[in-house]
């Protein structure tokens, strides 16, 4: 039986740039930092960035040999992807209190949006943005 969601991980090509985006632009609290892994607290769930050597990465993942996951990522980088292909098949949904205010703030900071705030059939509103690796983030206000 599943007790709870332990962690959500997304691949990134530039750890420093992505860490800065999630920490400084989105305001998440960093809980752990390593050259190939950075995690944040996202409402009680661990959210992690993993150096995956995908998408626009000039070099593959650096390996630290401290865990099998690093080796797995190193091997996985050999899978070729086009520069504009998504680096992951998942989407991150963030619940927001004031979508219009948060959207305006992020837009003024140069965040790329692929869908502006709009009403949804389920009664809420959403806007869709991209992180520095073009991972999809849906901002949702119920």
Domains and their CATH numbers in the chain: 7-76 (3.10.180.10), 92-141 (3.10.180.10)
Strands (E) across the chain are located at 7-12, 29-34, 37-42, 45-51, 92-95, 113-119, 125-130, 136-141
CB atoms near residue 40 (< 10 Å): 20
Quick: pLDDT tens for 49-77. 887 654 444 444 444 444 444 444 444 44
Instruction: State pLDDT tens for residues 73-118.
Output: 444 444 444 444 444 456 788 888 999 999 999 999 999 998 899 9
Task: Judge residue 70's burial from the number of C-beta atoms within 10 Å of its C-beta, 0-12 exposed, 13-18 middle, 19 or more buried.
Answer: buried
Confidence tier at 2 by pLDDT (50, 70, 90) = low
Give the Cα separation of 12 and 55 in Å (integer). 8
Distance CA 130, CA 44 (A): 23
3 state SS of 106: helix
**Do 47 and 93 meet the contact criterion of CB atoms below 8 Å apart?**
no
Share of the chain above pLDDT 70, in %: 70
pTM above 0.85, yes or no: no
Among 112, 116, 111, 123, smallest CA distance to 99 is for: 116
Closest by alpha carbon to 128, among 110, 140, 115?
115
Contact 11, 52 (CB under 8 A): yes
């Amino acid at each position: 039986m599943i007790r709870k969601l332990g962690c959500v991980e997304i691949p990134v090509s530039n750890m420093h740039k992505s860490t800065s985006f999630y920490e400084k632009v989105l305001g998440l609290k960093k809980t752990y930092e390593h050259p190939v892994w950075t995690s944040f607290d996202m409402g009680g769930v661990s959210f992690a960035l993993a150096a995956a050597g995908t998408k626009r990465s000039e070099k593959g993942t650096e390996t630290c040999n401290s865990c099998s996951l690093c080796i797995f990522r190193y091997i996985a980088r050999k899978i070729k992807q086009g520069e504009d292909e998504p680096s992951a098949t998942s989407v991150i949904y963030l619940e927001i209190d004031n979508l219009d205010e948060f959207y305006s703030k992020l837009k003024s900071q140069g965040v790329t949006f692929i869908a502006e705030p709009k009403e949804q059939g389920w009664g809420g509103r959403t806007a869709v943005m991209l992180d520095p690796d073009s991972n999809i983030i849906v901002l949702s206000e119920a």
